[in-house]
Amino acid sequence: MYMECLPLKENVVWKTEYQLLSEKLNEGLHIFKIAVDEHFTKIESIYKDFLTEREILKSNRFRHKKDRDSYIVRKYITRKILSSFLNVQQNEIQYLKAGNKKPIVQGLEFNVSHSNNLILIAVGSLPVGVDVELMKQDFSFTSLLADCFHQDETILIKNSKDQLTCFYGLWTRKEAILKATGEGLIEELPEINCLPNQISRKNENFNLFSFLIEKHYVASIAVSSLVQEINFWTY
């Protein structure tokens, strides 16, 4: 099956039994899906006990409550998930910076993405990047094609019956691979062709997966080709 121009991962089964033994959690790659509105009400009275002073100060600077709630849930749930992998308390989680300034925790690799009411958190032992986007039906992307997409990508977007989904799918793939390598958005975006399901970047081989979530979101994962198993969890 194809998401118009992209191979779509069909067999995504979101499991809910995320309370696993740490030794099982450390096998393969784990993708956690979190709904902001469902979780903020649960942690509203306790999150300050687990976030750092710096994180709390930053949360207070958001102008819009929706953005503030999303930030708080991201920080809180990320700490909670990582503490499950490491068998430590949430307050004991200490973020370090890798050589590329990408945050790591005691050898774990993780990456976080959010859009509107949805958060995705990827955790594993090997490099990973994840990106999710709410597909805005009124978004005009034509002006971005020349500056952000490879020629082959642009052709496929223009020829697609569903150009919007194709655009967002390719954009999330591009973001995911650059987050996996720790590069972030770069000026040479058109030089990166994210159509293949395997891509080499920064002397490392990555597999790319794209999938839809609840029909309105598209997400992509870039993960080391050494990863054999991907687990999907609804948190």
pLDDT surpassing 50 at residue 1: no
- On average, the pLDDT of the chain sits at 89
Q: How confident is the model at residue 24 (pLDDT cuts 50, 70, 90)?
A: low
With H, G, I as helix, E, B as strand and everything else as coil, classify residue 158. Answer: helix
Whether 170 and 13 have beta carbons less than 8 Å apart is answered as no
Each residue's pLDDT tens digit, 27-44:
789 999 999 999 999 999
Distance CA 166, CA 184 (A): 21
Q: Please state which architecture CATH assigns to domain 2-234.
A: Alpha-Beta Complex (3.90)
Distance CA 21, CA 181 (A): 29
CA 168 to chain centre: 14
Whether 62 and 220 have beta carbons less than 8 Å apart is answered as no
Single pTM value for the model: 0.92
Q: How confident is the model at residue 185 (pLDDT cuts 50, 70, 90)?
A: confident
Whether 91 and 53 have beta carbons less than 8 Å apart is answered as no
Q: How confident is the model at residue 4 (pLDDT cuts 50, 70, 90)?
A: low
24 residue type, one letter? K
